[in-house]
Each structure stands twice: as structure tokens, then as C-alpha cells.
Structure 1
Amino acid sequence: MRAIFKALCASSDTVINTSPSDPLINSVLQECGINMIAINAVQNDFISQLEEIIINKRIMAVYIRPNCSYPECRNLDEASCSRLVELAKKHQFYLIEEDDDHEFWWGKYPFMPLAHYAHGGFVIHCAALSRVSPYMQNLRTVVAPAQLIEILKLIPNAHYGYRDFSEEKAISRFLVNSELLWFSRQAKAAKQKDLKNLHELLQLQLGEYISYDLPESGTALWIRFPAKTDLVTLIELLKSDGQVIRSVISRVKPEQTIYHMRLDFGRFDLRDCKKVAIKLRSILKKRIR
């Protein structure tokens, strides 16, 4: 993603970031010296907000995860996707679409990425090759205009970080023989089972305290706790009790109360999750009367 921004934007350019809560993408934009405007893509007035901005200011690109937003884990509806592509063509800005969750969809049909629309070359699609293995997740596939691809090819290999050529040779064989599709389907089936088990556990142990929508894709839940609950304090209590907590929740401002949690089940252990859920229920029962 860093290479894409550097190839596409000058330091004075402006990019709309629809994942302002993601520290990684924020770091990349800062490193490239790009001006950033933050918009939440899951808000009902997202398109109207975008239209108002592009009327008054020239932007180079919109960074977006339409398949599974961060951190809310929601899809962008088809009408909004279509309108977004039309705006990009009309005002000539790029849509930088990132998608690491294309293998994990839970509805009848997979999400149709922006790259499948008639975008006239204004969509740059960047995705993990696969989440079957950590190495494949770090291999990025890029679908973009030929000119940008040629610029990316000029970037020295050292910029891509560590490479394991023997593993890449095996991955190449998987692709040629269509074996990766089988492994991908197995991974999806395993995560679908994890989602079912997690949903049943949360409803049993914490159903009276939390609310969430089951995701249409991806491997995370966006969970809402009661507004008077401070999750930062709860997480510290759980950690001090010796519970295994992988989530990192911090306040932007000292007086800020956090009551939403993104729970990722990409690495799911039912036993550990059950222990935490039971302990959390006992804490909430004492605090919420």
C-alpha cells in the first residue's frame, strides 16, 4: 500500500481516508506526506459528504475497504459502490480499494469489488493473495492501470521486505494447479464454524449486555457494550486476572469513554474465549444493575 501511495500521489496531494481508525494506513499517509481528510464510509450520508468535499477541493484518491470496513466490519451497499465509481470517473480521482477478506463471505454471494464495475481505470484494487497462510496474506495482488503497474515494477525488491523464494515457488505451483482454491475453501469453512461457535458463546454468556450484527464478510465482529461501560477499564481488569486478551483498546482523549470493541476471530480459540466471556459476564453483572 505504501508503494501505491508513493507511485500515485505527490506530497501536496489530498487523499480521503475512510479508515481513520487504522493506525497502519494513517502511518503510511503521514510517511508519504499526503494531506488526509477523514470520512466514515459506513455513515448513511457518506456519499453526500464525499460529493460536498470534491466540489470544493481537488482530491487525488479515496482509500476504502468496501467489502469489510475498519473497524465496523460492514459492507458498502451496491448502490453506494456504483455511485462512488461514477463520482471517481466524473471528477477523475482514484479509488484505492483494499480487501484482505475476499475469501471469507457469509451470504449467498461474495461481495463484488469496485474493480468489477465499469470504472474506466479509476479503481486500484489491492488485496492479500490469500489468508490461507501468513506469508500469502502478506503477498499483495494489485489490479491497476498499466502505467501504475509499470511504476510499481521499478521499485527495488528490497522495498518488499523479507521474501522466501522456496515458499513462493510452492505458491506458484498452487496457483498453476488451482490447488489454492481448495485450501481457500477449507479455510472459509473453518472460519464459518468459528463464527457460529463465537456467536453462540457470546449470546449465551453476554447476550444481555452486548449487541452486534453478524458480518456479511470478514473475520471480525463490531460489538457494542452499554454506553456507561468503559472498555479500557474492563480490559485492564481482565488482563490483571490473567485472561488472554489480544485486543488493544486505548483512549484518544483521557476523558473519552470506549464502549465499542472489534473482536477478530481470525485466530479463534473457543476455550480461551469462553474463559474470558464468563469472567467478563461476572464483572458486568456487578457493574450494571
Structure 2
Amino acid sequence: MSSPGQIPFNSFISLDRQEETSIYIQLAQQIIQAIQRGFIPIGTKLPGSRQLAKVLSIHRNTVVAALQELEAQGWVEIKANIGSYVLKNTTKAKKNTGYAKNLNQNQYALQTGYDFEKSTILENPFESTTCTLRLDDGMPDSRLSPLQELSKFYTANLKRKKNSKYLGYSDQNRPTTFREQLCNFLNQSRGLHIQPKNLLITRSVELSTYIIAQTLLQPDDMVVVGQPSYFAANMIFQQAGAKIKSIPVDDDGIDTEALEQLCKKQQIRLLYLTPHHHYPTTVTLSSERRAIILELASTYGFAIIEDDYDYDFHYDDAPIMPMAAIDYGGMIIHTGSFGKSLAPGFRTGFIVAPENLVIELQKLLNLLDNQGDFIMEQVLSDLIAEGEIHRYLKKSVKLYKERRNYMSYLLARELNEYVDFDIPTGGLALWTTWRKEINLIQLRRQCEKSNLFLPKNILYQAKDIAAIRIGFGNLNASEMEESVAILAESLAMIT
């Protein structure tokens, strides 16, 4: 036990009479900080009120008030005619003579006092900007979201008495209304034949992918992706310890001949696909190749994640049904998001898989997100039941088609000498290829000077490719015009 006379109170107690906080509260707070940091060890008998008042040059009554506050908060015990003793010590401070003297009690620790391994995989790929204009990789325009309708549904569900009993923690007996409604929606819109037992609700497509990766993958398992592929999924697989193998993507989607050759040489655990519109190139996986992939999966025993990230956005002909609609062998795990056309807070992810896998995935989801968002699920359920989501999707798809056409027109008119692209049949982005001598990082910097931000995750430049995935969904007509004008001006300055 430290002697009161050995504790250098003046080194960590600094009282400011100019502050609005009372001196006795300042003193109590700073003694608590000293206890937490180990400057005053547990069991220490504090100096008497007269002695401490003299050391700190304050009135004895101020010290008495501070000790009473410490006792009320449970930090010290005051024994009549004996003294005040520290009751608990929440953290252990470093035990070196210079530590207390050099520490500023008003500053939180600059770094940990212990070592840990820093991730080289999970660097944040999403950048922020102060620019007014921003190109993204194909996000919807949240400004178009029917907030009044959503607010009406949300308020109604909050007011329903029957819902209040399901807002507690870890309530496993909640109604399955949303899963039932979402099953019906997916069966009708995607040609699936699922029941609620085949469906798992998550917060996002990325969380769905994470849960699947953690459940199915072991260190050094091989995951096959297209080249190029979705960066976030690649990061998730690498974090799970998998080895990623890329195979080419052409106008018909992922190269099935290359996939078959790889299967003959190495064991594949998982194939990750975005077949409706390949990310980032927007091409659709052909029907012939879909059949070949399913046959290869059955023959060589690898699972397939079919990421259905933008299925709701198709403009021309009827969309090709997901591979999961023709998977009778249980090889495909179908993931997607519901409500992507709505404001971000009104979206949810889902996983469609055979029941035995859903049960296993649910175990991990219970650990990560046992509470979920019951009220939001009820809102989305109402949107389906009352037909609002169908009406909104029909309206928004028409608008996004107009935006796709207008962005294509502007790029062809203003940047024809620099860029080439095909107009996609769906989705919210254009895959544009540029003259190889154009330095896209230089272009990004020049555009940023003119208030247009191009995040790094939409730029694809290597020895044999210079491409940009240009999202058009989040831009109205005037914003498109200004963005393309800045691109044209910036290109003229760097070429």
C-alpha cells in the first residue's frame, strides 16, 4: 500500500478556478482518473483533508466535499476517525517513475500499451469528399425515396401494441411475417421456389457474404472470382484466410473453360459470381455458361455464391432468372438486398440457401446481430403486402432508365475520342474503357480540383486496361451534365 506522503498529487491534479465546473468536482474527477490509471493504487489510504488541502492549496471544505463525492460514487470508503481508502482500481498503469509526471490527465492515451496485429486487408475502400459532385460505382438516388410513405409505415408499426412485446432483447418468438412476404416477393420476381426456412435476413449483402465466408471457408481454401471482381467480397474472403484465384470475364461473363481447367488442377471450395450484371463490367452471364457452371459445381463439389446485388434494375427485355431458380442440387447460395432503391436505412440483406445451411448460418448471425431490426422488417413487410414496393420499383426503374440513356448520350457526345462503352441492360452503372495512355489517377486529381470526386474504387488501371465504372443512378440531369463537362475539361488538361 502506498503511503499518502509518497503520492505526487500535484503531478496529476490540476485545478482551474476559471472553469464552470466546481473545484470539488474537478478534484473528485481527477482523483478518479488517477485511480483508473494506477497512480493511486487500490487500498491506498488518502491523505487527511487538512493535509491534502495544504498540498493542493485549496480550502479544507473543498477536499471534504470531493471525498464525499468519491464515496457517493463508490470510489472510496470513509472510515470515521481513521481515514479514506480507495475501494477499486479499474485499470493498471505502467509502473515507471516518469509515466505519471509526463502524462497529461486531460488527454486520452495516444496508442495502446500492448502490441496487436494490424490488418493489411481491411483498409477502408470507401472514401469521403467535400466535393459537391461525386461519381460512384452505381448507387441509387436516396433523394427519390418516398420518405412520407416510409414514415407513415414506420410510425404505424411503432404504434401497434402487438409490436411492442417484440422489442425486447433476444426475443426469438417474433412473427415471421417479413420472411413470408419476402419469400413471396422473391418467388414472384425471381422465379424461386423457396419457403421461409430457406431464407435468412441480414443487414446487408456484405454481412451475408461475411457470414457465409466464416461458415464455409477454412484457411487456404480456394475462392474463385472473376477478373475484375467486387473488391469488398474479395476482402471478406481474404480476411477468412482463403486464397483468391481470378479467372477472365468476357462479354458472356466468367470464362467457363478457364474455370473447368482450374477445377481439374486444384480443389475449389467456393465460386463467387454476380451473374445478372457482373461487377464491375456489367455483362450478363449467358444461359449456356450458367448451365456449365452448375454442372461443374456438381461434378467438383464447390459452392457458389450468387450475388444478386442489382436484380431489381433491368430496363429492356425481361431479365434472366437467377441461377438459384434452376439449382436443383443445392449448390447455390443466393444473396441480395431488398429495398436497395430506398434510402439506405430502409434496406436489408438476405440469403437464400438449403435449410441445413441456413440453420448453420443463423448460429453465427445470432451471435453477431441477435437483435436485428424488427420494426424495419415490419415496415418492409407492409411495403410488399400493400403493393407499395412494386409501384415504387416500377416508377424508379423508369427514371433510372432515363438516367442511363442520358449519361450514355453525354459520354458519347462529349468524350467520344477518349472512352468506349456498351449500354447495359440493367444496373445503375456504365463500364467505360479509356485510352490506355490516360492516367486515371491524374484524371481523378484534376477532376477533384473542379469539384468532381472520383473515388479510387471505381478506377481500374493496369498494363492492359484503363476503365472506370461510372454510376449514373445518384445523379440528376444537371449533375450529369456538369460532371461530364468536368471530365472533358480535365482530360483536355492531362492529355
| TM-score, normalization by structure 1 | 0.89
In structure 2, what is the equivalent of residue 182 of structure 1?
A: 391
Distance 1:53 1:256 in 2: 24
Mapped partners of 2:469, 2:398: distance in 1: 22
Alignment correspondent of 1:172: 381
CA offset at residue 153 of structure 1? 1.6
Q: Secondary structure at the match of 1:127?
A: strand
SS for the counterpart of 1:132 is: coil
Give the structure 2 partner of residue 269 of structure 1. 476
Q: Is the 8 A contact 1:212 1:223 kept in 2?
A: yes
CA contact (8 A) 1:15 1:36 kept: yes
Query: TM-score of the superposition, structure 2-length normalised?
Result: 0.53
3-state DSSP class of the match of 2:420? coil
Runs of 4+ with deviation above 6 angstroms: 250-253
Structure 1 residue 16: Cα displacement: 0.8
Q: Residue 251 of structure 2 contacts residue 284 of structure 2 at CA under 8 Å; is this kept in 1?
A: no
In structure 2, distance between residues paired with 1:246 and 1:162? 37
Q: In structure 2, the residue corresponding to 1:267 is in which secondary structure? A: coil
Equivalent position of 2:204 in the other structure: none
Structure 1 unaligned segments of length 5 or more: list them: none
Q: Would the alpha carbon gap of residues 252 and 282 (structure 1) be closer, same or farther in structure 2, given more than 3 Å must change?
A: closer
Contact 2:333 2:352 survives alignment (8 Å): yes
* Structure 2 stretches lacking a partner, 5+ long: 1-208
Sort the Cα spacing of 1:132 and 1:163 in 2 relative to 1 into closer, same or farther, 3 A: farther
With over 3 angstroms needed to count, the CA separation of the structure-2 counterparts of 1:53 and 1:79, relative to structure 1, is same
Letter of the 1:79 counterpart = E
Q: Aligned residue pairs: how many?
A: 285
Q: Which residue among 447, 453, 456 is the counterpart of 1:238?
A: 447
Q: Shift of the alpha carbon at 1:32?
A: 0.9
> Separation in 1 of the partners of 2:351 and 2:216?
13
Aligned-residue offset at 1:221? 0.5
Secondary structure of 2:397 counterpart: helix
Alpha-carbon distance in structure 1 between the residues aligned to 2:455 and 2:448: 11
In our comparison, the structure showing a higher alpha carbon Rg is 2
Question: Within 2, Cα distance between the matches of 1:196 and 1:251?
Answer: 22
1:207, CA displacement in angstroms?
A: 2.3
Report the identity percentage.
Answer: 23
Residue 67 to residue 161, structure 1, CA distance change in 2 (3 Å): farther
**Greater RCO, CA 8 A, separation 6+:** 2
Residues in 1 aligned to 2:472 and 2:459: alpha-carbon distance in whole angstroms: 23
Q: Find the residue that maps to 1:30 and give its secondary structure.
A: helix
Structure 2 residue aligned with 1:26: 234
Distance 1:162 1:251, change over 3 A: farther
Q: How does 1:77-88 map onto structure 2 within 5 Å?
A: 77-88=286-297
What is aligned with 1:106? 315
Given the superposition, is the C-alpha separation of residues 205 and 87 from structure 1 closer, same or farther in structure 2, using an over 3 Å criterion? Answer: same
Q: Distance in 2 between matches of 1:72 and 1:154?
A: 35
Tell me how large the CA RMSD over aligned residues is: 2.6
